[in-house]
Amino acid sequence: MKKITFIGAGSLVFTKNLVRDLLTFPAFEDCTITLLDIDAERLGYAKTAVDNIMAAGHYRANVEATTDRVEALTGADGVVCTILVGDLDVWRTDIEIPKKYGVDINIGDTRGPSGIFRFLRTVPVMMDICRDIERICPDAVFLNYTNPMAMLCRTMQGETNVTLTGLCHSVQGTAAMLARWIGAPMEEITYTCAGINHTAFYLDYKWNGKDAYPLIRDAVTNRTEIYNEEQVRNEMFLHLDYFVTESSGHNSEYNAWFRKRPDLIEKYCTHGTGGNPGEYGRMIKSRESRKLNWTQQMEAWRDSPIDLRRGEEYAAYIFNATIGDGTLFEFNGNVRNFGLIDNLPEGSCVEVPVIASRKGLQPIHVGPLSDQLALLVDPMARCEELAVEGGLTGDPRKIFHAVCYDPLTSAVLSLAEIKTMVDEMFEANKDWLPQFKHFS
């Protein structure tokens, strides 16, 4: 019997979908699923939701729920992590403080000033989890879904011996979107995708072995509804010649081109899915509403219709390949760059094809990115490296320097303005940053 532990099981929709996928594999029909969350109420809803899946599918797996991490990890063969560190009050400062200085961030969970401070809050907890895995279940395969993906995976892979990778649904999700745009069945599509998390590119994208990029360019250029569906990403494709994985809202804040002036935000980020500057306000309202109506929301999610069909998230397929029946599975994962992408920093965290098997997780050499892509991605990777070093050493100067070179921040602010902004963000986060002794 295999044991799979879900850390942060209170992320209910994620937990429901991943458990559903896992139970579709015969290798896990009698497994133990252990749900862990520090919030007992959320954990209870997750347990009920998973029990409903068990009943609907007539599965024989054993389901446990606990708030004790040692208990949850004891005997685990696989671990999934979907946690969020920090409360609404500190999370909103990630967006509101940069906004006050003119850095208009849309999501803020990946990189830039918002992503870096989210990383600094999250990394002590993630390292504690990894240390527990090393001590309690050292042979377990650890799959991380927690953002900021690249900085967290880079830290955990560099500082621990845990077998782990980070997963994001944007690669397969965008591939399916492009197939829809050109009218291709997804089973006839193949691609090679590489870069860093949320800024990886399809280096090739083929339909039945033939280059499909001309079809994509034709669709983006000549069909207004397709152009408007992803304005930022389509602009990047039309000018950089390769399509990027993560959504327009995310990508609008990763570079210097779309959010540095109000007129650019109006042109590219207000219509379609480009990341309306009012989107953050709606997200805050949604979260506050959910806090006020938590029981009602949880009951709705818990009792929503159960679809037992396997989804497209990678986690269950990887577990099946590594600790299940051994069927090989290729996916895009976040791993350290040791001879994988030739013109990105050695040792940084990259997102590349990986083969999962009983031998573990084996990343595939991709080669160099095209020059125009490397010029975009390399500074992002270097900023992440600097932020990781600052997080590990508790050096606020390195954090400041990492923010200095963020493309959007540097397009908007002077160095002195960036320093003032970073100091204010440190002050807002001081209760969450035990690794920093001082901020100046």
Residue type, 14: F
Whole-number average pLDDT of the chain: 93
Give the model's confidence band at 270: pLDDT under 50 very low, under 70 low, under 90 confident, else very high: confident
**147: annotated binding-site residue?**
yes
Nearest to 350 by CA among 245, 213, 253: 245
Q: What are the angstrom distances between the C-alpha of 134 and each of 35, 79, 129, 142, 293?
A: 19, 12, 9, 11, 39
Residues marked as catalytic: 169
Distance CA 33, CA 65 (A): 8
DSSP-assigned states of every residue in 210-237 = EE-HHHHHHHHHH-HHHHHHTHHHHHHH
Angle at which helices 294-302 and 40-57 pack, to 10 degrees?
20
Task: Compute CA 166 distance to the chain's CA centroid, rounded to the nearest angstrom.
Answer: 7
Give the model's confidence band at 285: pLDDT under 50 very low, under 70 low, under 90 confident, else very high: low
Domains of the chain: 3-89+105-166 (3.40.50.720)
Res. 279: pLDDT tops 70 = no
pLDDT score of 280: 54
Distance CA 198, CA 168 (A): 8
Sign of CA dihedral 111, 112, 115, 120: positive
**168: annotated binding-site residue?**
yes
Sign of CA dihedral 126, 38, 145, 273: negative
Q: Which tens digits make up the pLDDT trace of 372-401?
A: 999 999 999 999 999 999 999 999 999 999
3-state secondary structure of 64: strand
Which position has the higher pLDDT, 287 or 148? 148
Res. 204: pLDDT tops 70 = yes
Give the model's confidence band at 278: pLDDT under 50 very low, under 70 low, under 90 confident, else very high: very low
Of 76-90, 296-310, 348-362, least confident by mean pLDDT is 296-310
Segment 126-146 mean pLDDT = 98
Res. 292: pLDDT tops 70 = no
Res. 282: pLDDT tops 60 = no
pLDDT score of 272: 60
pLDDT score of 86: 87
pLDDT score of 291: 55
Q: What are the angstrom distances between the C-alpha of 244 and each of 233, 247, 275, 356?
A: 7, 8, 16, 24
Burial readout 176-200 (b: 16 or more C-beta within 10 A, e: otherwise): ebbbebbebeeeebebbbbbbbbbb
Query: Where are any strands of DSSP class E within 313-363?
Result: 329-336, 349-357, 360-363
Against a cut of 0.85, is the pTM above it?
yes
